Chain A
Amino acid sequence: MSEAVTHRPDAPARAGASGPPAGSRRRRSPIAPAPATPWLFLAPFLVLFGTFVLLPAGFGVWISLHDWDYTFPTHPFVGLSNYQALFDPSSTAGGPFWESMRATGIFTVLSVPLLLVVPLGVALMMNARFPGRNFLRAVYFAPYVLGVAVISVLWRYLLDTNIGLVNHYLGVLGLPDSTAWLTSQPAAWASLVGVTVWWTLGFNAVIYLAALQDISAELYEAAKMDGAGAWQRFRHVTLPGLRPVLMFVTVNTIIMSANMFGQSYLMTDGGPGRSTRTAIMRIAETGLSSFQMGSAAAMSYLLTVVLMALSALVFWLFRDRDAVRPRKKVRS
């Protein structure tokens, strides 16, 4: 606390890497701040964060314990009956909710593996110096910048059964050219997953690429010297080096996929039937169109609990097991 003034400025305090190593003593500034100073800095953010993040996160629980119809002046307390109704598959709330959870589940199971593997393949191919690399990176990333509304409206046109480009060119190639891409199953899932991969591939690829460039070339050299082939170098140098980023990308992609709304809303309108109506669609309809906010809040907590459990599972799967058992398969 008092040694700070005499330190040598050229002594590297931090290696510019991530945060301070755990348990180390952080260098303090020579002058301690007045007690109010940090809070003055924090105040504007805390007002916003408190009002629109912390407060609603708690308030939602309160709402879910009431029969909270937005259009009615009174909101009777009903305890856990919103949750009970959701867990009863024969009730008007429970049936459609689990149907929508199933749709979200199908979409997540289909899209997440593709969104983990395909961008990794692209990033590996781009992880070299060659002309036009930055241009390609920007091209792959472009759809992500356009956002879900533009992408969905565009693909609704391209996937149109009669006048869409997709069916036209399938016909040119001599393949079946009358698939109802958005109004029949399983084509509708194929469309939603395909468009989502097209839309967000660049996002994950860019994150992978940055991580690949952080893996030291010396490790690859050393592995080569030891006679490791391409696959072994990937297994024992690339994958371990990507572990923290893979974990982040996996959790992030699961959450993004489980929150799918716009693609279904604009491309299939939840159809055919109710097959692509996702949990988020169901929550938004129940809470913001029918104004049954108690039930919708309860649904959003159930969905969140499932997502948190999944995230915890991913963290557990990706934990550093090398210390315990050095030869364990890395699941990817």
Chain B
Amino acid sequence: MTSLQDTAAPPVGTSRTDPSLRPARRRSLRYLVLYLLALGFVSPLVYMLATSFKTRTEAASTVPSWIPDPFTTQAYQYLFSAPDTPVLTWFANSMLAATATAALVVATASLAAYPLARMEFRGKRVVFALVIAMLMVPGVILVIPNYLIVSELGWLNTLTAIIVPSAASAFGVFFMRQFFMNLPVELEEAALLDGANRFQVFVQVVVPLARPAMATLALLAFLTNWNDFLWPVYVLFSPETRTLPAGLATLQGANQVRYDVLMAGAVIASVPVMLLFSFLQRFIIEGVSRSGLKG
């Protein structure tokens, strides 16, 4: 009777709970809530996948169906064949941009984080303070000036505009610095005493130890870039330069009523990240939980 109250706060001043028969009932209630919640997370995604294999009429029917009848790949065929929706090109653009950004972020952030973690030099505090300050500043103030900078560089409507500006990752530097600070310093000192220079130490001693952290950072940078929405919508304006999220937006503008096509587009945009996620979810989730920095 009172077990439902466990999740809510009992009124202040209640005495201690009766220990008998509590744990078992509480545990089953917990499972029930958690698995029902999980159903609420999975079913919309399942419905998206199902709808992408429906006919146009079935997708627009007022009676929802979970199993396409007839099963058809019409929506996908439409997407692949229509001239104004080059989905495969969008897919390739997204892949290329996200991969290149991830590589740039990992390379530049790891290199920059190393001296911030391990060397004493003039100006170190200034650099680090700037990185932290920019971690706090909302990105919205950068959008307008960056549009002008990118236009000045002649990058408007090119993938370069999607890759290079987003590779300046203050978070990446912060993240890698935390990792380097927690590495035992003895190995590096031994290598230095053996006459290696700092770059050799970094490449031969530090990078092999930092692989898990670098992989996590690469994943987070890939996902962030893959899902970026506002910037690509405004910086890319021809069908063949768009990334998937920007493409989905134009698809929706053009196909208000063709939900089968929209769902097919959404599925295509989901498959790569879902595959990455299912294989590497532990890395991704650990990376995110570590971003809730300790203190």
Contacts and interface: CB of A to CB of B under 8 A. Distances in A.
Interface of A: 4-5, 9, 13-14, 16-20, 26-33, 35, 37-42, 44-46, 48-49, 51-57, 59-60, 63, 70, 121-122, 125-126, 128, 130, 134, 136-143, 145-150, 153-158, 160, 162-163, 165, 168, 198, 202-203, 206-211, 214, 227, 229-231, 234, 244-245, 248-249, 255, 258-259, 261-262, 265-266, 280, 283-284, 287-289, 293, 296-297, 300-301, 303-304, 307-308, 311
Contacts of A27: 185
Interface in B39-60: 40-42, 44-45, 47-48, 51, 60
Contacts of B291: 207
Top 8 nearest A-B pairs (CB, nearest first) are A147-B227, A210-B289, A56-B145, A38-B115, A45-B112, A149-B245, A207-B292, A48-B168
Interface residues of B, number: 120
Given A146-B273, A303-B138, A37 B292 contact: no
Nearest to A169: B64
A154 B285 contact: no
Given A51-B149, A265-B249, A283-B144, A146 B168 contact: no
Contacts of A150: 245, 248, 266, 269-270
B139 A259 contact: yes
Q: Taking each of A20, A38, A307, which has the highest tally of chain B beta carbons within 10 Å of its own beta carbon? A: A38
Contacts of B270: 146, 150
Contacts of B63: 168
Nearest to A261: B230
Interface of B: 6-7, 9-10, 12, 14-17, 27, 30-31, 33-35, 37-38, 40-42, 44-45, 47-48, 51, 60-64, 104, 107-109, 111-112, 114-116, 118-121, 124, 127, 130-131, 134, 136-149, 151, 164-165, 167-168, 170, 173, 178, 181-182, 184-186, 188-189, 192-193, 198-199, 202, 223, 226-227, 229-230, 233-234, 244-246, 248-249, 252, 259, 262-263, 265-266, 269-270, 273-274, 276-278, 281-282, 284-286, 288-295
Contact of A32 (B12, B120, B262): B120
B59 to A, nearest CB: 8
A284 B143 contact: yes
Contacts of B249: 149, 265-266
A43 to B, nearest CB: 8
Given A53-B170, A311-B136, A70 B148 contact: yes
Given A148-B229, A304-B138, 14 more contacts: A13-B184, A17-B294, A42-B127, A53-B142, A59-B148, A63-B145, A210-B286, A210-B289, A211-B289, A234-B9, A283-B140, A287-B147, A297-B145, A304-B137
Contacts, number: 323
Contact of A229 (B17, B114, B278): B17
Nearest to B235: A288
Nearest to B31: A130
A206 B35 CA distance: 17
Given A148-B227, A158-B44, A266-B252, A168 B64 contact: yes
Contacts of B144: 60, 63, 283, 287-288, 293, 296-297, 300
Nearest to B173: A45
B119 A37 contact: yes
A134 B289 CA distance: 14
A262 B120 contact: no
Contacts of A296: 144
A208 B292 CA distance: 8
B136 to A, nearest CB: 7
B101 to A, nearest CB: 11
Contacts of A258: 138
B9 A52 contact: no
A57 B229 CA distance: 21
Contacts of B111: 41-42, 44-45
Given A33-B121, A145-B277, A266-B252, A231 B168 contact: no
A230 B11 CA distance: 12
Nearest to A126: B34
A17 B295 CA distance: 11
A112 B274 CA distance: 27
B186 A9 contact: yes
A27 B181 CA distance: 11
Contacts of B62: 162-163, 168
A211 B168 contact: no
A154 B131 CA distance: 36
B149 A56 contact: yes
A63 B145 CA distance: 8
Given A155-B44, A307-B138, A38 B145 contact: no
Given A142-B41, A146-B270, A153 B262 contact: yes
Nearest to B62: A163
Given A37-B115, A165-B64, A30 B277 contact: no
